[in-house]
Amino acid sequence: MSASTLIVVRDETIAVHGGYTPDSTRAVAVPIYQTVAHDFVDAAHAGAVFDLETPGFHYNRINNPTVDVLERRMTSLEQGVGAVAVSSGAAAVRLSVRNLTGLGSNIVTTPQLYGATYTYFAAVLPSEGVEARFAADDTAEAIEALIDDNTKAVFCESIGNPAGNVVDIEAVADAAHRHGVPLIVDNTVATPLCLKPFVHGADIVIHSLTKFVGGHGTTLGGIVIDGGRFPWAEHPERFPMFSRPEPAFHGVVYARDFPDRPYAVRARTVGLRNEGATLAPLNAFLLLQGLESLSVRLERQQHNARLVAEHLAAQSRVSWVRYLGFDDNPYHLLARKYLGDRFPSIVTFGPAGGYDAAIHFFDSVKLFKRLVNMGDAKSLVAHPASTTHRQLDEAALAKADIPPEMIRLSVGLEHIDDIIEDIDQALDA
């Protein structure tokens, strides 16, 4: 089979080659198109590009060839139909929700969320006239109980950060779909190499590309991916933005004019175009570099994480350990269902001695880096109650399943003996 007819279908290969065909220069690495705009052939060509009748690039706040490769590659990995890359994971959260919501509407979400997502839903969305309803827990029953005629989306993290819960995506998707509501899944922790939410009924998938995809703690980025399965046209009253002419984009009717991917097209032409959370071409290039090695990094990180979890579980200086690979973890069976035997490299634990002991551990590490990122090649440590979830009161922390003594470890690529030695000396301290 010649190179021109090669069909890329396996994840590890897509992560290296997907979405890119070399141009006339035959550059093997994706070029960085560091430009603000692109030259039109003539007025007719300009109009056709602006009307989305002809594929093309015009102004790089909206699209860019380097960013386009990243979007295509992530779309292939998630088995979606289209994507919009943005400047950060937080921007992806916002775009995914604001593409559907309006004044007087609401979303329903699980309480186990990353701190900035929780704060955005709890404090910022209401100021824009959108209510975020936090379910009592992450079960389909608790979520469905809060859905009403004004609900525009159900939102969850496939694996909660840092709670470590696993959402039963199939059950939650079924509950949302019974009411004509799409499911948005943040798949950052699982990554598309371990879990594909669209296969299980999700409608929109987002990522903070800053984390595992980038993988080196250098580059911010986010992405919103359209699964192409939700029947927007069948719900014109709930989602008029897809069935009525769009005043922000010269009267386009997205469900009619772009029936295969209306959500993604509207996210780009209304959300990204007008709010400007653009991903820089250089950042897209760096994220592509990280994506190429994702599969091998995950293998080493997940191997190290299991050994770390087993070591912590054997320590009298540790009160509890949460690791999805343990049989006694309450989410272990769901993890098996959705992840097989590939458990994330995130381990949380509580040092004996509670909050004060956790702070001492956090202050005493030497190899682990004290920061709030995760998924890095380096081993990282965070104390969520005093950092990522600092804005939450005691009741909200409890609902999000974040004990005050919780330590979150994002286990990296270092030699396992060095990682464990650092953990031991910090526990001793």
Residues 227 and 362 in one domain: no
What integer pLDDT is reported at residue 250 of this predicted model?
Answer: 86
324 backbone dihedrals φ, ψ, rounded to 5°:
-65, -20
Residues 270 and 301 in one domain: no
Residues 214 and 302 in one domain: no
Residues 333 and 406 in one domain: yes
Residues 124-134 have a mean pLDDT of 97
Q: For position 203, which CATH number holds? A: 3.40.640.10
What integer pLDDT is reported at residue 7 of this predicted model?
Answer: 60
Residues 213-225 have a mean pLDDT of 97
Categorize the per-residue pLDDT at 392 as very low, low, confident or very high, splitting at 50, 70 and 90: confident
What integer pLDDT is reported at residue 3 of this predicted model?
Answer: 45
What integer pLDDT is reported at residue 375 of this predicted model?
Answer: 96
Region for residue 226 given its phi and psi (left: phi exceeds 0; alpha: psi -120 to 50; beta: otherwise): beta
pLDDT for 286-325, tens place per residue? 999 999 999 999 999 999 999 999 999 999 999 999 999 9
What integer pLDDT is reported at residue 8 of this predicted model?
Answer: 60
CA gap 205, 191 in Å, rounded: 11
Categorize the per-residue pLDDT at 381 as very low, low, confident or very high, splitting at 50, 70 and 90: very high
pLDDT at residue 399 tops 80: no
Residues 22-30 have a mean pLDDT of 86
Residues 89 and 158 in one domain: yes
3-state percent helix, strand, coil for the chain, nearest multiple of 5:
40, 15, 45
pLDDT at residue 6 tops 50: yes
Residues 254-268 have a mean pLDDT of 96
Residues 139-156 have a mean pLDDT of 98
Domain enclosing residue 269, as ranges: 3-289
Region for residue 35 given its phi and psi (left: phi exceeds 0; alpha: psi -120 to 50; beta: otherwise): beta
Categorize the per-residue pLDDT at 376 as very low, low, confident or very high, splitting at 50, 70 and 90: very high
Residues 332 and 203 in one domain: no
Categorize the per-residue pLDDT at 172 as very low, low, confident or very high, splitting at 50, 70 and 90: very high
pLDDT for 33-48, tens place per residue? 999 998 888 888 888 8
pLDDT at residue 391 tops 90: no
Residues 355 and 281 in one domain: no
339 backbone dihedrals φ, ψ, rounded to 5°:
-115, -10
Residues 343 and 213 in one domain: no
Residue type, 183: L
Q: DSSP code of 121?
A: I
Handedness of CA 240, 226, 282, 40 (dihedral sign): negative
Residue type, 138: D
pLDDT at residue 343 tops 60: yes
Residues 208-222 have a mean pLDDT of 97
Torsion angle of the four alpha carbons 81, 193, 375, 99, in this order, in degrees rounded to the nearest 10 = 20
Residues 278 and 300 in one domain: no
pLDDT at residue 400 tops 80: no
* Domain final residue pick, 237, 265, 289: 289
Give yes or no for a cis peptide into 162 (omega within 30° of 0).
yes
The pTM for the full model equals: 0.94
Residues 380 and 401 in one domain: yes
3 state DSSP class of 376: coil
Residues 406 and 382 in one domain: yes
Handedness of CA 370, 379, 376, 307 (dihedral sign): negative
- How far apart, in Å, do the first and last CA atoms of the chain sit? 60
Categorize the per-residue pLDDT at 1 as very low, low, confident or very high, splitting at 50, 70 and 90: very low
pLDDT at residue 2 tops 50: no
Residues 331-344 have a mean pLDDT of 97
What integer pLDDT is reported at residue 52 of this predicted model?
Answer: 82
Number of domains in the chain: 2
Q: Which residue has the tokens 């198109």?
A: 33
Residues 227 and 321 in one domain: no
* Domain final residue pick, 289, 308, 324: 289
Handedness of CA 364, 370, 374, 377 (dihedral sign): negative
* Domain final residue pick, 236, 263, 289: 289
What integer pLDDT is reported at residue 4 of this predicted model?
Answer: 47
356 touches 393 (CB < 8 A): no
Q: DSSP code of 89?
A: H
Q: For position 407, which CATH number holds? A: 3.90.1150.10
CA gap 356, 282 in Å, rounded: 42
CA gap 409, 382 in Å, rounded: 7
Kindly list the distances between the CA atom of residue 91 and the CA atoms of 25, 62, 189, 220, 416, in Å, as whole numbers in the listed order: 34, 14, 17, 10, 35
- What is the rounded radius of gyration, in angstroms, for the C-alpha atoms of the chain? 22
Strand 407-410 and strand 346-351: the pairing is antiparallel
427 touches 315 (CB < 8 A): yes
What integer pLDDT is reported at residue 245 of this predicted model?
Answer: 94
Handedness of CA 14, 88, 362, 407 (dihedral sign): negative
User: Which is more confidently placed, 55 or 151?
Assistant: 151
Element (H, E) at 408: strand 407-410
What is the average pLDDT value for the chain, to the nearest integer?
Answer: 94
